[in-house]
Amino acid sequence: MPRLVLGNFVKFGVIMKKYEFISKDFPHFLHGGDYNPEQWLDTPEIIEEDVRLMKEANCNEMTVGIFSWAAIEKEEGVFDFSWLDLVIERIYENGGRVVLATPSGSRPMWMAEKYPEVMRANFRGERDEFGERHNHCRTSPIYREKVRIINEKLSERYGRHPAVVAWHLSNEYNTGLCLCDNCKKAFRVWLREKYGDIDAVNRAWWTSFWSHTYTSFESVNPPHDGAGESRLHGLNLDWKRFNSDMAVDFARAEAEAIRKYSSIPITTNFMGNYEGFDHYKMAEVLDVVSNDFYPRWHGNVDGMARSTAQIGALLRGLKGGRPFMVMESAPGTNLGGMGFAKLKSEREQFFEAMLYVATGADTVQYFQWRKSRGGWEKFHGAVVDHYGRSDTRIFRSISAVGEALGKLDGVLGMGIKSDVAIIRDYENLWAIDGKCIQTVVKSPLSAAHYDIYDGYFKAAWERGISADVIGFNEDFSKYKVICLSVPYLMNESKAEKIKRFVFEGGTLITTFLTAVADDTDLCYLGGVPGAALSSLFGLRAEEVDDYHGIDTTSKPRLANSVVYKGKSYGVAGIAECIIADGASTLAHFTGNIQKDMPAVLCNDYGKGRAYYIGYQPDNKFLADFMGDVFSELEISAESSVKPLSDGIRTLVREGDGEKYAFVFNTSEECGRVELSAEYTELLSGKRLSSEQTLDALSVLVLKIS
């Protein structure tokens, strides 16, 4: 093993600051969720009962207005806010707060009938009929204008109302597919702005291949699988960028309308690992990010907790570490599905809520407050069932969460400190999906990317080490280790940033297919890794082999393995043929064309070190290898809580010198921990020290400083 390298990390040891609260006038966890009173306007007694029940459920927030456009603007230009006035007033009188939504996720029928252009179109230009939701055309000038008008009216009326603590833009923005003339025109304008002239487009997309040279911007159409172009990688990638930009631009226009009269925080609800738009760009429009969490409780709890924590890491990383909102989660049934699904026990519901808080949430909100009588989601989990009263299991479990959150105000605004970061790069994700890289099947590279991305996180998680997920725009110097997974698309400024990070003392880990292509998916000439990264890694990857992935049609004839520190590990798919040029070999292949070639390499560069994993590793290798890197860099778990049994996970939130440890027992068996001193457990109010027992699926919240 090469010499030990410790970086020069000026920021280490700096005390983390507490982040801004979501509402400075209401320094409590928001606990509530989607409420759709517009469904109950002809039964005002139900709305009254809801207001009463909210308090009983220990809920202090309702998210209102998400799908209420038809109830507010019944006819074009005729607005009725009277019911909304009443609902907001009643919630406030009862001590609650409101997150107010803009209604653009679903439009009234009169609009689609009068202005069909608000609906999306297929590649033949045929418009969708009215129906469904989240399916408007994002470039339609009429839709944008109608959204501006209603957003301004909402903001003018409620933007300074003391009940309203945040804005919720639309609902789950997605990029969908619209191929209408407005979108085509907007795409051509976008291309013209980016490239200037059509020859530059031809060069960037390498259209001389198959004689696909464009003669003008007007001849460029979006890619689609119907009948037309779908095999120009540069076009596919730019179309994804364009759609992402349109989603962000749409949100920005919504936010600008709101900002005219209101200065409270603006958010929109994300969908975890959804890749449709660049979340880093979307986050620039927002003050705080929020997410809809629907973890599956069907399987392994530790795995579920890990993927929830991983989404939490992604969300924090979108706003420089700032806590996020859990805009939706399910009371009871745990699928977003509309039928019947596995119920959550009271213990599971509680565990889930505490997990959100432990991973950086400053709210716990649900979809939904009350079950609708009809419509697609009438059986979806809700705090209030069709039964309508509070003596139900779910109601009680939500009240228990609310009661606990009331004891955790001190945790609000606390961040999470990590020495490890995993990079998420949306442009790279788009480049390695099924439409890019020469393959007609779903690209195995996406799957490989996620396996490794998750493998890095898992290796940290299982050692009790916190990892962040960050974009290329983040300050790298906060971290000791930065991990990349299949960073196929790499421009020179990103390459420069990772080089500087290592040069100044950081440790970088990357994988096969690093820096193969530039921003328009043109391959680098002169060897891989490109983008002038060969000196960082001290190697050249000459060919790419695949053992299980790309050729999914036939059974693999051959297998290969890798030896690292005398132990053998499987090759899960791709394996490169690597020629070392300065790097030292840490692991080598044992068979086939790669026999004895380096599989994992490391190269000292400046004050830091770069590792290159030249094949698709299994989690066993990643766990062992990352463990070595962590110990080399002295990255370790929180020391105040020592796990004495399997499945204990401790997550820490801290800020301004205060520190809270959330200790979860993710196992179905009783667990044990050893505390390094005496601490207050906030949920029970008890002082705890030395060895403690945790019931299955239970949590302790300790104030450790």
d(CA 499, CA 639): 32
Q: According to the binding rule CB under 6 A, does residue 245 interact with ligand GAL?
A: no
Minimum separation from the CB atom of position 67 to ligand GAL (A): 8
Q: Which of 30, 11, 21 is nearest to 364 (CA)?
A: 30
Catalytic residue among 38, 328, 427, 638: 328
Minimum separation from the CB atom of position 405 to ligand GAL (A): 22
CA torsion angle for 51, 292, 313, 684 (degrees, to 10)?
A: 40
Candidate list 61, 328, 518, 638; residue touching ligand GAL; CB under 6 A = 328
Helix and strand numbers, DSSP H then E, in the chain = 17, 30
**One-letter identity of residue 399:** S
Sign of the dihedral through C-alpha 573, 480, 539, 624: negative
| Residue 205 DSSP symbol | H
Q: Which of 334, 335, 317, 316 is nearest to 326 (CA)?
A: 316
Catalytic residue among 117, 152, 172, 254: 172
Minimum separation from the CB atom of position 367 to ligand GAL (A): 4
Q: According to the binding rule CB under 6 A, does residue 63 interact with ligand GAL?
A: no
Tokens 């490989």 belong to 448
Measured from the CB atom, the residue of 52 and 134 that comes closer to ligand GAL is: 134
Binding mask 80-119 toward ligand GAL (x if CB under 6 A, else -) reads ----------------------------------------
Candidate list 39, 155, 171, 443; residue touching ligand GAL; CB under 6 A = 171
132 is catalytic: no
d(CA 566, CA 376): 57
Candidate list 73, 152, 254, 292; residue touching ligand GAL; CB under 6 A = 292
d(CA 651, CA 138): 40
Measured from the CB atom, the residue of 377 and 618 that comes closer to ligand GAL is: 377
Q: According to the binding rule CB under 6 A, does residue 38 interact with ligand GAL?
A: no
Do residues 371 and 40 touch, judged by C-beta distance below 8 A?
A: no
CA torsion angle for 600, 603, 609, 614 (degrees, to 10)?
A: -30
d(CA 627, CA 621): 10
| Residue 274 DSSP symbol | -
Do residues 611 and 600 touch, judged by C-beta distance below 8 A?
A: yes
**One-letter identity of residue 482:** I
CA torsion angle for 396, 397, 403, 406 (degrees, to 10)?
A: -140
Minimum separation from the CB atom of position 38 to ligand GAL (A): 14
Element holding 681 (H helix, E strand) = strand 679-681
Considering only residues 351 to 380 of the shown chain, the ones binding ligand GAL according to CB under 6 A are: 367, 377, 380
Measured from the CB atom, the residue of 73 and 328 that comes closer to ligand GAL is: 328
Size of the site for ligand GAL (CB under 6 A): 9
Q: According to the binding rule CB under 6 A, does residue 594 interact with ligand GAL?
A: no
Q: Which of 429, 443, 421, 549 is nearest to 489 (CA)?
A: 429
Minimum separation from the CB atom of position 214 to ligand GAL (A): 39
Minimum separation from the CB atom of position 74 to ligand GAL (A): 22
Query: H helices of 168-278, where?
Result: 181-195, 198-205, 233-259
Measured from the CB atom, the residue of 270 and 662 that comes closer to ligand GAL is: 270
Considering only residues 130 to 149 of the shown chain, the ones binding ligand GAL according to CB under 6 A are: none
Measured from the CB atom, the residue of 340 and 526 that comes closer to ligand GAL is: 340
- Six token digits for residue 358: 């432990």
Candidate list 50, 61, 73, 172; residue touching ligand GAL; CB under 6 A = 172
Produce one character per residue of 646-680: b if its CB has 16 or more CB atoms within 10 Å, e if not: ebbbbbbbbbeebbbbbbbbbbeeebebebeeebe
**One-letter identity of residue 545:** D
Element holding 55 (H helix, E strand) = helix 44-56
Measured from the CB atom, the residue of 174 and 561 that comes closer to ligand GAL is: 174
Minimum separation from the CB atom of position 574 to ligand GAL (A): 34
172 is catalytic: yes
d(CA 523, CA 510): 18
Candidate list 116, 272, 336, 410; residue touching ligand GAL; CB under 6 A = 336
Give residue number: closest CB to ligand GAL: 336
- Six token digits for residue 682: 């906030």
Minimum separation from the CB atom of position 704 to ligand GAL (A): 36
d(CA 2, CA 538): 15
DSSP output for 2-50: PPP-----TTTTPPPPPPPPS-TT--S-EEEEEE-GGGGTT-HHHHHHH
Rounded to 5 degrees, what are φ and ψ at 281?
-75, -40
Minimum separation from the CB atom of position 294 to ligand GAL (A): 6
Measured from the CB atom, the residue of 196 and 337 that comes closer to ligand GAL is: 337
The partner residues of 398 in beta bridges, in order of sequence, read: none
Minimum separation from the CB atom of position 374 to ligand GAL (A): 15
Catalytically active residues are 172, 328
Give the footprint of ligand GAL on this chain (CB under 6 A): 171-172, 292, 294, 328, 336, 367, 377, 380
